[in-house]
Structure 1
Amino acid sequence: MRIPALCLLLLGLSACTAATTNAPADEAHAGAPLPFIEDDYGRALAEAKAKGLPLFVDVWAPWCHTCRSMKAYVLSDKALARHAGRFVWLEVNTDLTQNAAFQEKYPVEFWPTLYVIDPRQEKALLRFAGSATVAQLEKLFEDGERAYKGGVTGAEALLARGDALYGEGRSAEAAETLAEALAEAPADWSRRGRAVESLLTALYGAKQYEPCARKALEELPRTPRSLSWANGALMGLSCALALPADHAAAKELRGATEAKVAEALAPPAIEMAADDRSGLYEVRVAAREAEKDEAGVKALAEEWLTYLEGEAAKAPNPDARSVFDSHRMVAAMKLGAPERVIPAIEQSEKDLPQDYNPPARLATLYRLKGRLDDALAASDRALARVQGARRLTVLSGRADIHLARKDSAAAVKTLEEAIAFAKTLPASQVSPRAVAGLEKKLAGLQAEAAQK
C-alpha cells in the first residue's frame, strides 16, 4: 500500500524478506515472469543502454512486509511474463551496502518504491511508492514507456511531468503539477485514481499535511471506488495523523479521513491484496489511538488480528504466510496478547532459517512475556543473520532486553556498539533520526548511572 504506514510506522517490527535473499540471481529468479537483475545497477544500466530500453527498478528491503507481499503475490504473477521485453529489470535491496550509491542517486522515502529510469541520462521518469496490483503495474509500465518516448500532451503530459519531478525528489513541485493534471483531465480520465495517489504521496513528501488531508477529501468523491480510492483515503488519514496534536484542524481532519478509510473497509469489497487491507486497519488503529479511544483500539485490533490469522492460513507457502507476521505482531501487541502470535513466528523461523526477521520479532515478543533468556537467544540468532542498517534496530531491541534483565552496563555497551556500527555505514543508508534515537537512549542510561 502506498502509504507511510506500510513500512515506516512499523519500521522496528516490519518484515519483507525472501528466503532467497542471498541466493544467486539465476536461482532466485528461476521461473520468475520478469527477469530481474539483483543488486547490480551498473550491469542493469549498461544493458538498458545497449538495448535502448528504460530501466524498471523495484527498491525493497528485507524488513518491509509490503515489499514481501509484492514479491509473493504480484511480481510472481505469470501474467506479467508478456511484459518482460519492455524494460530492463532491476531489484535493489537497501539493506546491502553495495547499493548505497544507488540510494544516494535515487533517495527512497517509502518501501517499496518502483522507479522507471531513463538510462540515457540516468534520470528518474517515474517514482511510485508502495504496492500495486498487476493491473496497476501494467498502467505504470505504460506511463513509464510514454515518459521515455515522449510525445504526450494535456493531462497525460502533466502526469508524466509530475512523475518526473517526484522521481527527482522535488515533491512540492510534483504536487503542483499533479494537481494541474487532475484539474485539466476529463471526469472519466483512466489515470485519475493513480494521479490522486501520486498527488497525495507528493504532498506528504513535501510535509504539506493539511493540504494533503483536505485534497483527499476533495478528490475522493470524484475518484472511482477502487484500490486507488482506498489508497487515497488511507493517505489522507496518514496526513491528518501527521498534523501536530494542537493543530486547529487536526481533530476534524482525522475524523473525516478516518470515515473514508472505514468506508474503504466496508462493503462492497474493494479488490486489493490482504496486505493492503491490513494497512487500512493499521491506520484506523492509529486514528483511534490519537483519539485516546482505548475500547475502539481493542475492538479494531481484534478484528484486524482475526482477519490476518485467516489470511495467513490461506497463504500458499511459508514465504507468503510470513507477509502477515509483522502486522499480526502489532495487532497482538495492541490487544496486550503477544503470546497469541508467538507460535506463528516460531514457525516462520523454522521455515525461513536465513531470514533475520522472525528471531528479531521473537526477541521482542519473548521480552514482553518476561522470557528474557529466550529473548536474548533470539536476539543472538537475529544478529547472526542481519545485514546493513537493520542491525541498528536489532541492537536497540537487544539493549531493551538487557534493561529488562536489570543489566544497565550491558545495555550501554550494546547501544555504544550500535552507534559505532552506524558510523561505518554509508550515509545514504542510515537514518539520522534512528541514530539520534540511539544516542538519546544511551545518554539517558549514562545519566542514570552517573546519579547512582
Structure 2
Amino acid sequence: MRSLLACLFLSGSIACTATNANAPASASAEAHAEGPLPFIPDDYARALADAKAKGVPLFVDTWAPWCHTCRSMRAYVFTDKALAKHADRFVWLELNTDLTQNATFQEKYPVEFWPTFFIIDPREEKALLRFAGSATVPQLERLFEDGERAYQGGATGAEALLARGDALYGERKPAEAAEALSLALAEAPADWSRRGRALESLLMAQYGAKQYVPCAQKAVAELPKVPRSLNLANGVLNGLSCALAIPEGSPEAADLRHALEAKARDVLAPPAIDMEADDRSGLYEVLVEARKQDKDTAGAKQVAQEWLTFLEGEAAKAPNPEARSVFDSHRMLAAMTLEQPQRAIPALEQSEKDLPQDYNPPARLATLYRLSGRLDDALAANDRALARVQGARRLSVLSGRADIQVARKDTAGAVKTLEEALTFAKTLPAAQVSPRQVESLEKKLAGLKSPAAVPGAAP
C-alpha cells in the first residue's frame, strides 16, 4: 500500500554510499527479470527510444531497495503470470532511485513516494499518469487502460477529467490535479467503475498540495461510496495520512482523525479485503501513529502488538527470503513501538544472512542493537551497512552511526560522522537528496556542537 507517512518514518533508519553507487542492492534487483513483463533495468534513454520506435507508451516503475512496498510489488505482484498478456502494451522500465545514474530521470520526473509508477508519452516525454503506491493485478490493468486512453486521446466526461487530473499530477501540479479529480467525482455516475481509483488519486494530490483538511474531509464524505476493495483500503490510508498531517491545534483534526481511524479498523475487520499483506500492514502503521497523536501510549502499543503478530505470521508464510524481507521494516517499527526492539532482531539477522548484498538488514540491525544497549554490535552492523549501501541512502546510515556514537558518549566521533555526511550530500545529484534530511543532519550537528552537549563546557 502506498504510505504517505512511511517515507518520513522509515527513511531515517537506512541510507547510501559513493563507492558502491551503481552496484546491485539485493536480490530484489532481479525480481522483474523473473517476471512476465520485459522490464529494462535502469536505462531511460534506451527505453524511451524503444517506446518511440514501437509507438507505445512507456511504463516506469521507480523503486528503491529500502522501500517495503516496492519489494512487495516486486515479490508478489509483478511476478504474477496474469500480466504476461500485457507485455506488448508498453515498453517497460524499472529505475532504482538509489542509483546516481538515474538522477537525470528524477530531475525530470521527481519521485516523492515509493513506489511511483509513471506512464509516459515518449513523443513529448510527458507524464500521462503518475500513481504512487501498491496495486493488485486488476488495479494495474486499470492503470494500463487509463494510460493508454490518455495516450490515444478521445475520452469524454468523467473519464476525460480523470485523465486530465492524472496528467496534471504527472506534471507536478497537485492543486490543479485535485481540482480536476474533484470534478471527475462530481460528474461521474454513482456506479462509476473508476470512482475508487479517482478518489485515491484525488487524496494523493490533495496531500501533495498540503490540502490536509480538505483531503481528510473528502475521504470521510466519499469513502462510503467506494465498494469494499483495495481502492477503499488505499483511500482510507490516504485520508488518515492527511488527517495525521493536519497541524496540531486545528479544531477539525481530532474529529477527522477519529472518523478515519474507525474506517481503518473497519477495513481491517472481516470480511477480509483482497489485498497484499504489505497493504494491510500499512493500515496498522497509520493506526499506531493515530494513537500516538492522541498521546495514547497504551493504545499505540495494543495496535503495535496486533501489527507485529500479524507480520510475524505473514513472514513465516513467505515463499523465499526476498519476499520475507518485505516485512522487515514494519516488524522493526512495531517492535520499537512496543519498546521491545530485541523482538525484531532475529528476523533482521536472518535477512542479513540470506541477503548478504543488501544494506538494509545491517542498517536496521544497527538501530535495533543500539536501542537494546548492544552498542559494539550496533557499530559493527553500521560498518557492514556502510560497505554495501548506495547513493543518497548513505546519509541515513551515517546519521544512524552518529546516534550510536552519541550513545557510546563519543561526541567527537559523532560530529565527525555528521560532517562527513553533509560533505557527502554536496557530491550527490540534487534530485536524489532530500532537503529535509540535510536539514535534519545540520540540526543534529548543531546540537552536538552546542556548549550544553560538550561535557565540562562553560555555560
What range is the shorter-chain TM-score in? over 0.9
Q: Distance in 2 between matches of 1:50 and 1:449?
A: 63
- Alignment of structure 1 residues 255-404 onto 2, 5 Å: 255-404=258-407
Aligned partner of 2:18 in structure 1 is none
Q: Distance in 2 between matches of 1:354 and 1:190?
A: 43
Aligned partner of 1:416 in structure 2 is 419
Tell me, yes or no, if the aligned pair for 1:389 and 1:429 is still in contact at 8 Å: yes
Tell me, yes or no, if the aligned pair for 1:147 and 1:160 is still in contact at 8 Å: yes
Tell me, yes or no, if the aligned pair for 1:41 and 1:90 is still in contact at 8 Å: yes
Pairing partner for 2:45 from 42, 57, 61: 42
Q: Distance in 1 between matches of 2:38 and 2:141?
A: 16
Pairing partner for 1:217 from 210, 216, 220: 220
> Structure 1 residues 135, 235: CA separation in 2 closer, same or farther (over 3 Å shift)?
same
Residues 154-179 of structure 1: per-residue CA shift (max 9 Å, x gap):
11111001000000000000000001
Aligned partner of 1:82 in structure 2 is 85
Aligned partner of 1:176 in structure 2 is 179
Identical-residue share of aligned pairs (%) = 76
Tell me, yes or no, if the aligned pair for 1:372 and 1:405 is still in contact at 8 Å: yes
Aligned partner of 1:449 in structure 2 is 454
Q: Distance in 2 between matches of 1:387 and 1:20?
A: 9
Number of equivalences: 448
Aligned partner of 2:20 in structure 1 is none
> Structure 1 residues 227, 23: CA separation in 2 closer, same or farther (over 3 Å shift)?
closer
> Structure 1 residues 6, 133: CA separation in 2 closer, same or farther (over 3 Å shift)?
farther
CA-CA distance at 1:23 after TM superposition: 7.9
CA-CA distance at 1:426 after TM superposition: 0.6
Residues 202-222 of structure 1: per-residue CA shift (max 9 Å, x gap):
000000000000000110111
CA-CA distance at 1:356 after TM superposition: 0.1
> Structure 1 residues 22, 270: CA separation in 2 closer, same or farther (over 3 Å shift)?
closer
TM-score calculated relative to the size of structure 1: 0.97
CA-CA distance at 1:416 after TM superposition: 0.3
> Structure 1 residues 51, 112: CA separation in 2 closer, same or farther (over 3 Å shift)?
same
Aligned-partner SS, 2:127: strand
Q: Distance in 2 between matches of 1:357 and 1:249?
A: 38
Residues 71-122 of structure 1: per-residue CA shift (max 9 Å, x gap):
0000111111110000000011111111111001001111000000000000
Aligned partner of 1:426 in structure 2 is 429
Aligned partner of 1:196 in structure 2 is 199
**1:166 is aligned to 2:169:** yes
Give 1:9's aligned amino acid: F
Aligned-partner SS, 1:108: coil
Report 1 or 2 for greater relative contact order, CA contacts < 8 Å, sequence distance ≥ 6: 2
Residues 263-291 of structure 1: per-residue CA shift (max 9 Å, x gap):
11111111110000000000000000001
TM-score calculated relative to the size of structure 2: 0.95
**1:155 is aligned to 2:161:** no
Aligned partner of 1:10 in structure 2 is 10
CA-CA distance at 1:7 after TM superposition: 3.4
Tell me, yes or no, if the aligned pair for 1:49 and 1:120 is still in contact at 8 Å: yes
Pairing partner for 1:117 from 110, 117, 120: 120
Give 1:146's aligned amino acid: R
Aligned-partner SS, 2:94: strand
Aligned partner of 1:227 in structure 2 is 230
Q: Distance in 1 between matches of 2:317 and 2:326?
A: 12
> Structure 1 residues 24, 264: CA separation in 2 closer, same or farther (over 3 Å shift)?
closer
Tell me, yes or no, if the aligned pair for 2:308 and 2:335 is still in contact at 8 Å: yes
> Structure 1 residues 28, 227: CA separation in 2 closer, same or farther (over 3 Å shift)?
closer
Aligned-partner SS, 2:11: coil
- Alignment of structure 1 residues 92-111 onto 2, 5 Å: 92-111=95-114
CA-CA distance at 1:36 after TM superposition: 0.5
Aligned-partner SS, 2:8: coil
CA-CA distance at 1:3 after TM superposition: 3.0
Tell me, yes or no, if the aligned pair for 1:14 and 1:64 is still in contact at 8 Å: no
CA-CA distance at 1:341 after TM superposition: 1.1
Aligned-partner SS, 1:186: coil
> Structure 1 residues 29, 129: CA separation in 2 closer, same or farther (over 3 Å shift)?
closer
Q: Which moved more, 1:184-193 or 1:440-449?
A: 440-449
CA-CA distance at 1:223 after TM superposition: 1.2
Tell me, yes or no, if the aligned pair for 1:7 and 1:66 is still in contact at 8 Å: no
* Runs of at least 5 residues in structure 2 that lack an aligned partner in the other structure: 16-22
Tell me, yes or no, if the aligned pair for 2:203 and 2:215 is still in contact at 8 Å: yes
Q: Distance in 1 between matches of 2:263 and 2:13?
A: 27
> Structure 1 residues 108, 405: CA separation in 2 closer, same or farther (over 3 Å shift)?
same
> Structure 1 residues 218, 28: CA separation in 2 closer, same or farther (over 3 Å shift)?
closer
Q: Which moved more, 1:233-242 or 1:307-316?
A: 233-242
> Structure 1 residues 316, 24: CA separation in 2 closer, same or farther (over 3 Å shift)?
closer
Q: Distance in 1 between matches of 2:111 and 2:265?
A: 29
Give 1:303's aligned amino acid: E
* Runs of at least 5 residues in structure 1 that lack an aligned partner in the other structure: none
